[in-house]
A = this chain, B = another copy of it.
């Protein structure tokens, strides 16, 4: 564990700033948090649902997903995690954990002692606000996924996932034919949208045949971005990018920091 000032947690700040304004003071307070660095191999579990983790995990590099399973071994992926994201914000507010998190690619993770982060959140309301804003966006994504899984057909579900992933990777203005890297297998796509990997394959093949998509290995290009969005019924509003609460005055609270 290190208390040295370092920029390892910088991706976390960047992510928070997608949805909130983070002051320099807050940034420094976060960067000063103690943490342990860990490397998690592909396919390895990052967090289990049967305990109350003592650490808050933040992905610095790589991709992960949260999932739940039924007794008979079926799996539902409920969320994909991108670099900078804190994996268990819930930890700060509820005691027990209720799902599993697994590394999708090799991941670099910062583990912050829960007590330290909770202490910081209590003393700096603005940081709580930032973390919770991120959790609220996750909630919004959950709602969107429910709509997709519950009420759209296979084509739309797969298309929607591709659209969301592309936008979340930060390519807001995706150029026609712009390439991006898909870290998930067709099995995982299926587990996320409630289909079998076989049917995901059929859908992807169809998109390629129709000239909507180009795919080589895990590299994907959108040849007809408009059409893909249309098939998906995609509208990025639910991602709340650049959607912070404005005009909130934290100055009262800035006066009595603990650090």
Asked whether A70 is an interface residue with its Cβ less than 8 Å from the other chain, the reply is yes
Q: Would you list which residues of chain A between 142 and 156 have a CB under 8 Å from chain B?
A: 142-147, 149-152
Q: Which residues of chain B have C-beta atoms less than 8 A from A147's C-beta?
A: 68-70, 76, 78
The quantity of this chain's copies bound in the complex is 2
Q: Say whether B233 contacts A70, CB under 8 Å.
A: yes
Report the bound CA distance from A201 to B25 in whole Å: 57
Do B95 and A245 touch (CB < 8 A)?
A: yes
Report chain B residues within 8 Å CB of A233: 70-71
Residue A106, interface by CB 8 Å = no
How many Å from the CB of A47 to the closest CB on chain B?
14
> Nearest Cβ in chain B — how far from A25, in angstroms?
16
Contact at A150–B151, with CB atoms within 8 Å?
no
Contact between A143 and B19, CB atoms less than 8 A apart = no
- Counting chain B CB atoms within 10 Å of each CB, which of A71, A94, A250, A253 scores highest? A94
CB-CB < 8 A to A79: which residues of B? 143
B68 contacts A143, CB within 8 Å?
A: yes
User: Main SS of chain A's interface residues?
Assistant: helix
In the assembled complex, the Cα of A133 lies from the Cα of B233 at a distance in Å of 32
Contacts of A94 in B (CB 8 A): 19, 133, 136-137, 140, 240, 243-245
A96 at the interface (CB under 8 A from B): yes
CA distance A68 to B93 in the complex (A): 27
Which B residues are CB-close (under 8 A) to A27?
none
**Contact between B140 and A139, CB atoms less than 8 A apart:** no
Distance between A197 CB and nearest chain B CB, rounded to angstroms: 13
Other contacts beyond A70-B152, A90-B136, A98-B144: 19, CB < 8 A? A68-B147, A75-B151, A78-B146, A90-B139, A92-B245, A94-B133, A94-B137, A95-B243, A98-B238, A98-B240, A122-B248, A122-B252, A125-B125, A135-B139, A142-B143, A142-B146, A149-B149, A150-B193, A256-B256
- A residues within 8 Å of B by Cβ? 19, 66, 68-71, 74-76, 78-79, 89-90, 92-96, 98-99, 118, 122-123, 125, 128-129, 132-133, 135-140, 142-147, 149-152, 191, 193-194, 233, 237-238, 240, 243-246, 248, 250, 252-253, 256, 258
Task: Give the top 5 A-B pairs by smallest Cβ distance, nearest first.
Answer: A150-B194, A142-B142, A76-B147, A74-B151, A93-B133
- Could you pull out 7 A-B pairs where Cβ atoms are within 8 angstroms? A74-B151, A92-B245, A96-B240, A98-B237, A138-B139, A142-B143, A150-B194
